[in-house]
Amino acid sequence: METDNKYHIIVPKICAKEFKKIPKLWLEKIAKAINLLETDPFFGQKLWGKLEGKRKIRIPPYRIIYFINTKKRA
């Protein structure tokens, strides 16, 4: 039996609304990056200061900021 080591991705409603404003080309790239986070959430760069504990992925001109809940997985 295969172990499912995926993380569950939660997109806040406010972000989902913003997705509607993003051109399709960029939206596809963003979707690929978000899907990668399911299996490799530590892929993004650590943030510091006010955003300490969060990570980011850059898809210029956009930035995805997220956090990893290691206690709760999919």
State the DSSP string of 2-66: ----PPPP---HHHHHHHTTS-HHHHHHHHHHHHHHHH-GGGSEE--GGGTT-EEEEETTEEEEE
pLDDT of residue 74: 55
Q: Write phi, then psi, for 7 (nearest 5 degrees).
A: -95, 155
List of the chain residues with pLDDT < 70:
1-4, 73-74
